[in-house]
Every structure is written in C-alpha cells, then in structure tokens.
C-alpha cells in the first residue's frame, strides 16, 4: 500500500506534512535553473518550513518517529547546520529526549577550537538529522568529521531524499539513509491533489532525471488526516484465539471466551434511572451482548436486591457486569468507594478508572480487591481517551501515560476505554464508547461514529453502544444490528474464528 493512502498515523502524518508544505509555499512552480543546468518546473524550498510553527513541530515529530521505529541505538542526535538544526533541536529536546550535538562547518579559531559541540565520548553512536539529501556528499563530510573524533554515525534521517543518487552513495560508505519523503511520494501527492498536471509531472521527471513512472492519482481521504483519530500503534489485530491464550488476566480470558461463544463484541450502556427499567433492558439485551455497562449512581432506587438479580442474570445469560464509575481519587478513597454504600466490588466484574490519579493509587488498591476471590471485581479498564469534544485526555502525553500505567499493572488492568487502539499489547482489550450508527452528536458534547470507523480504522475490540439501542423503539432489532456489524468488523480477517 502506498504510504499516502495508509490508514495509520504514519500515513496521516505524511499527508499532513505534504498539505502543510503545500500551503507554506515549499513547492514553487515556474522555471528554475538547477545546478545541472537543466530547467525544472518545480523548486522545493524546505527552508520555508521553519516559518510555520505547526509544520516545524510536525516535521520534528515525524523525524523522531522515524528514528524510534528504525530501532537504531544511539546516545545523541546530531543536527547538520544550518538547515537541519531547528528540527534536530526540536526532535532531540521535545520528542526523543536525547542530547543534541552540532558539527561546525569550520573550527573556531579561539577557545576550545572544537568542531563538534555537545556532550560525547569516543565510540558514541549518533543519529544524524538532515533536511534534504541530494548527492549525499555533505553528509559524508560530516560522517568523516565525526569519525575523526571516534564517533559512529551510520544512520541519517532526512525530510526529503531528492533521489539524485544520495542514498546509494551513502550506502556504499556504510551509512543508511532513512527519509520521510522521497520525490515520487511528493509528486504523487501533488498530482493527486491537482497541484501539478500530467505534463508538469512528465517535465519534472525529465528535468530531475528520475526513474520514470506513470502519473499516479491516489484518492487521498481528508477525513483521515486527524492524527488523534488514528490508532496510536501500527499493528494488525492478533487472532482472538491467540489473544485468549496470550492473556494472563482471568478476566480477559473470560471476556474473550464469551466473545467467541456469543459471537459478540458489543457492550450495552444502559443509562436508565430506575432498577425496573434497567432489569427489563438487561433481560432483552443479555443474549446479544458481551457486557452490560451501568452507571449505578444514576439509578435513583439502587438497592441490594437489584444487584442480586443482576448477578444472577449475568451468571445465567453469561455477560460481564461493567460499572462505569470512573474512579479518580486517592487510593484510600477509591477503596472506600468500592466497598461503600453500593458495594461495587461485590457485584461488578470490571470498573473504569481514570489514569489521572497515577500509578500507585491504581495498582495498589484495585489489585487488592481484584485478586481477592471474596469480591466479584476482577479487573479495571483505564480511561486512556474520552469521546467528548475537547476532552483533556487529548493533551500531549496523557494517553501514553495511561498506557504506561497499564503496562506496569498488567495483572489488574484488563484494557482501555479509548477512541482508538492505544497499545500494541494484544492481551489488553480496547473498549470504545461513542458509537452510534444513526447519529453524530448529542447536545452535550458526545461524539459518535460508526462501527467501521471504530473497529476497522481505529482498531478497537469492543464497542460500547448506549442510546443507539436504549433510545430506540425497537431495541432488540438494534441489538441484533449492532452485534452483527461489530462482530463482522472484528472477525473479518480473523482466521482463528472462521
Ligand atoms: P451513548 O452511546 O448513549 O452516548 O452512551 C455511551 C456511554 O459510554 C455512556 O454511558 C457514557 O457515560 C460512556 N462513555 C462515553 O460515552 N465516552 C467516554 O469516553 C467514556 C464513557 O464511559
């Protein structure tokens, strides 16, 4: 698949980059004389990028992701002056959190007379950041300077490979070139969005002496450009059978086994306010769902008899009882709430917990009850992202921190409440609210999307549907409809199921 149409953060990042570059005037069209004497109808001026903070940030982030994904080991980031310095500074300081080094063009005639600035020891491995690679000559010069100081630098990360032989020259010298963009990607994008004609495409290939290829028009979906709506991790879904045996959490083993038996990855959110209404709906929904989600504190006549009936039904019809309390206090208060008036830990299989309270309060308290057979509670779902418009869970670093807490507490955290897949660990389940096949928003900040978006594109596992079913005059029909669509989407490429 071409990276320009990839449904992933990587694909979206490239599309965003190219769109912003186009707006910033990076691609200039006209008649430009090249070093070779050829006349080119395009001139790519990456220097324009630093004038646009959003673009500068996005390029630095994309370079950082490229470095992280490469698996290369390194102790510092070297920016090649001058053009690559802003990106290297941003990438090293903000995204990679590694020391920045700079190689001077000429040694100072006074002071330390050093050619390389920044902290280093002999034999340190560095990654090099460059803006554009044409023939590779200037990179090789830098590599030579570093070698003279016993520094190793076999990997260069650049924004654009002009495809003028640079990659091969570097390869011959034992240096790998990793580029965010190459000329063919740039030209395919420009042609696809109508910024260049077929004639210009041909002229550019000739002028730049590129290996010819026929013009390629891709349909580039602007709806997929919101980075936050795409999976945090690029991974294909592991077959359910494999996930069942991988997971060490008894709760997840039960959930996955239920999913397979009932052919359902549907959780119904019953947000009714009386026990009678709730129990009636549970009876209708029980056979079709994997889980019933409640807000016990919204039920005005909540009582112990209700929870007894609920537990009996859950045991008979086989579903998970999910109390969506969203605990978010000190560990001690969580504990009091779990065993307080509503005795949540004694009837709920799983509860939601806000990551905001931090690792210790989550791990300590919930583990204590979840691993104690005296309580029904056997796991928690961490809120990694909320579905509401403007939620602060979208602030940089929040979701990643929630994932880290989950990783530290794998015996008690069974998965996430999120909008998009947030972890590559296939034993952690991604539950997603904000699903409705017939409406987009309510009047209170909720944002809904369809099952295709939630399961296919955003790689979630379990859909949480509320009013799509509970406000319908024909709830059973809706339950059947949601269950079928969600199950088909989850299992369509799962060979362990068919
Ligand atoms: P509905 O489809 O009717 O909007 O219901 C969604 C349910 O999921 C509600 O119970 C809500 O509290 C819950 N929820 C949500 O909508 N978004 C979130 O991010 C987290 C939730 O728990």
Which of 352, 454, 466, 469 to mutate to test ligand 1, by most ligand atoms within 8 A of the CB atom? 466
Q: What is the pTM of this model?
A: 0.81
**30 annotated as ligand-binding:** no
Let me know: does 87 contact 137? Beta carbons within 8 Å: no
Q: Is 425 a pocket residue for ligand 1 (Cβ < 6 Å)?
A: no
CA 451 to chain centre: 18
Does ligand 1 come within 6 angstroms of the Cβ of 351?
A: no
Report whether pLDDT(232) > 90: no
| CB of 271 sitting under 6 A from ligand 1 | yes
294 ligand 1 Cβ < 6 A: no
Among 267, 268, 269, 478, which is best to mutate for testing ligand 1, by the most ligand atoms less than 8 A from CB?
269
Q: Specify burial of residue 287 (Cβ count, 10 A radius: 0-12, 13-18, 19+).
A: middle
Query: Residue 96: what are its φ and ψ, rounded to 5°?
Result: -95, -20
Q: Is 387 annotated as a binding residue?
A: yes
Q: Is 478 in the pocket of ligand 1 (CB under 6 A)?
A: no
Please tell me the predicted confidence (pLDDT) of residue 6. 77
From the list 65, 66, 46, the residue with the least C-alpha distance to 56 is 46
pLDDT at 135 over 60: yes
3 state DSSP class of 178 = strand
Q: 160 near 179, Cβ under 8 Å?
A: yes
- Give pLDDT, residue 12: 85
Q: Which of 114 and 31 is assigned the larger pLDDT?
A: 31
The structure tokens listed for 382 are 């961490």
**385 CA closest ligand 1 atom index:** 19
Annotated catalytic, 329?
A: yes
Range of weakest confidence among 68-77, 148-157, 360-369: 360-369
What's the rounded Cα separation, in Å, for the pair 22 and 45? 11
Phi–psi pair at 491, nearest 5 degrees: -105, 5
Kindly report, residue by residue over 43-83, the tens digit of the pLDDT: 999 999 999 999 999 999 999 999 999 999 999 999 998 99
In this structure, are strands 462-465 and 266-270 parallel, antiparallel, or unpaired?
parallel
490 and 454 Cβ atoms separated by less than 8 Å:
no
Ordered strands of the 116-117 beta sheet: 116-117, 100-103, 76-79, 125-133, 152-161, 176-182
Distance CA 356, CA 335 (A): 16
Give 456-480 pLDDT, tens digit per residue.
Answer: 989 999 999 999 999 999 999 999 9
pLDDT band at 231 (very low <50, low <70, confident <90, very high): confident
Task: Report how far ligand 1's centroid is from the alpha carbon of 449 (Å).
Answer: 12
The backbone region for 382, taken as left when phi is positive above 0, alpha when psi lies in -120 to 50, beta otherwise, is beta
Atom of ligand 1 nearest to the CA of 391: 19
274-297 confidence digits (pLDDT tens)? 999 999 999 999 999 999 999 999
Q: Is the CB of 420 under 6 A from ligand 1?
A: no
Ligand 1 atom nearest 470 alpha carbon: 3
CA distance 344 to 376: 9
Indicate the pairing of strand 39-44 with strand 27-33: antiparallel
Position 360 scores a pLDDT of 87
Q: What is the band of 260 on the pLDDT scale with cuts at 50, 70, 90?
A: very high
Is the minimum distance from the CB of 471 to ligand 1 under 6 angstroms? no
Q: Using the predicted structure, report yes or no on whether residue 107 has a pLDDT greater than 70.
A: no
DSSP 255-302: HHHHHHHHT--EEEEE--SSHHHHHHHHHHHGGG-SEEEE-GGG-TT-
Provide the residue ranges of all domains of the chain, joining segments of one domain with +.
9-208, 240-491
How far apart CA 440 and CA 232 sit, in angstroms, is: 23
DSSP state of 119: -
DSSP element (H, E) containing 200: helix 198-207
The architecture (CATH level 2) of 240-491 comes to: Alpha-Beta Barrel (3.20)
What is the rounded CA–CA span in Å between residue 253 and residue 241?
Answer: 10
110-123 pLDDT, tens digit each: 666 678 999 999 99
State the average pLDDT over residues 214-223: 80
pLDDT at 461: 97
417 lines ligand 1 (CB under 6 A): yes
Coil vs helix vs strand at 428: coil
- Of 234, 329, 456, 494, which is the active-site residue? 329
CATH class for the domain made up of 9-208: alpha beta
Given the CA of residue 442, which atom of ligand 1 is nearest to it? Answer: 4
Asked about 217 being catalytic, the answer comes back as no
Measured CA to CA in angstroms, residue 383 lies from 50, 128, 403 at distances of 36, 37, 9
Distance between Cα 159 and ligand 1 center (Å): 41
Site to probe by mutation for ligand 1, drawn from 293, 298, 387 as the one with most ligand atoms within 8 Å of Cβ, is 387
Q: Output phi, psi for 192, to 5 deg.
A: -65, -35
Show contacts of 249-252: CB within 8 Å, 24+ apart. 249/378, 249/379, 249/410, 249/411, 249/412, 249/414, 249/427, 250/378, 251/349, 251/350, 251/370, 251/378, 251/379, 251/414, 252/379, 252/414, 252/415, 252/427, 252/428, 252/429
Instruction: Say which of 131, 182, 324, 427 is annotated catalytic.
Output: 324
Residue 349: pLDDT band (50, 70, 90) is: very high
Nearest CA to ligand 1 atom 20: 386
- Catalytic, 161? Answer no
pLDDT digits (tens, 9 = 90+) for 417-457: 999 999 988 889 999 999 999 999 998 999 999 999 999 98
Q: Whose CA is nearest to atom 6 of ligand 1?
A: 466
- The residue whose CB lies within 8 Å of the most ligand 1 atoms, and thus the one to mutate among 434, 449, 479, is 434
DSSP type of residue 7: S
**Ligand 1 contacts CB of residue 323 (under 6 A):** no
What rounded mean pLDDT belongs to the chain? 92
- Stretch among 33-42, 44-53, 155-164, 289-298 having the lowest mean pLDDT: 33-42
Angle (CA) 166-169-174 rounded to 5° is: 120
């Amino acid at each position: 698949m071409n990276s320009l149409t990839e449904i992933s953060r990587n694909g979206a990042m490239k599309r965003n980059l190219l769109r912003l570059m186009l707006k910033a005037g990076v691609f200039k069209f006209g008649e430009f004389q090249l070093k070779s004497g050829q006349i080119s109808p395009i001139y790519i001026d990456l220097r324009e990028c630093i004038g646009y903070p959003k673009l500068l940030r996005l390029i630095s982030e994309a370079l950082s992701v490229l470095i992280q994904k490469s698996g290369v080991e390194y102790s510092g980031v070297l920016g090649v002056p001058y053009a690559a310095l802003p990106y290297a500074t941003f990438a090293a300081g903000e995204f990679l959190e590694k020391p920045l080094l700079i190689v001077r063009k000429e040694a100072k005639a006074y002071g330390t007379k050093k050619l390389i600035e920044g902290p280093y020891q002999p034999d340190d491995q560095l990654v090099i950041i460059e803006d554009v690679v044409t023939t590779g000559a200037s990179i090789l010069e830098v590599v030579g300077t570093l070698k003279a100081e016993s520094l190793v630098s076999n990997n260069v990360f650049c924004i654009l490979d002009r495809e003028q032989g640079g990659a091969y020259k570097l390869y011959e010298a034992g240096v790998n070139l990793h580029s965010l963009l190459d000329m063919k990607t740039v030209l395919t994008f420009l042609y696809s969005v109508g910024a260049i004609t077929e004639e210009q495409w041909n002229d550019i290939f000739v002028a730049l002496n590129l290996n010819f290829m026929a013009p390629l028009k891709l349909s580039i979906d602007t709806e997929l450009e919101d980075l936050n709506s795409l999976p945090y991790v690029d991974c294909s879904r592991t077959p359910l059978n494999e996930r069942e045996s991988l997971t060490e959490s008894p709760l997840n083993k039960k959930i996955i086994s239920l999913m397979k038996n009932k052919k359902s990855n549907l959780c119904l959110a019953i947000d009714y306010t009386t026990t009678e209404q709730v129990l009636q709906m549970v009876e209708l929904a029980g056979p079709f769902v994997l889980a019933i989600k409640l807000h016990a504190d919204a039920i005005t006549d909540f009582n112990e008899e209700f929870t007894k009936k609920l537990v009996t039904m859950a045991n008979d019809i086989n579903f998970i009882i999910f109390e969506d309390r969203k605990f978010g206090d000190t560990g001690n208060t969580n504990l009091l709430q779990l065993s307080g008036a509503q005795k949540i830990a004694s009837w709920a299989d799983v509860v939601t917990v806000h990551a905001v309270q931090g690792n210790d309060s989550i791990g300590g308290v919930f583990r204590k009850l979840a691993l104690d057979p005296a309580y029904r509670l056997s796991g928690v779902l961490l809120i990694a992202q909320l579905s509401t418009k403007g939620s602060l869970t979208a602030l940089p670093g929040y979701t990643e921190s929630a994932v880290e807490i989950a990783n530290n507490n794998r015996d008690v955290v069974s998965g996430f409440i999120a909008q998009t897949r947030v972890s590559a660990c296939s034993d952690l389940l991604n539950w997603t609210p904000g699903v409705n096949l017939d409406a987009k928003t309510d009047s209170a900040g909720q944002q809904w999307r369809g099952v295709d978006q939630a399961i296919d594109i955003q790689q979630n596992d379990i859909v949480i549907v509320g009013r799509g079913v509970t406000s319908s005059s024909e709830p059973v029909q809706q339950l059947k409809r949601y269950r079928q669509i969600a199950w088909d989407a989850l299992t369509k490429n799962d060979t362990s199921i068919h």
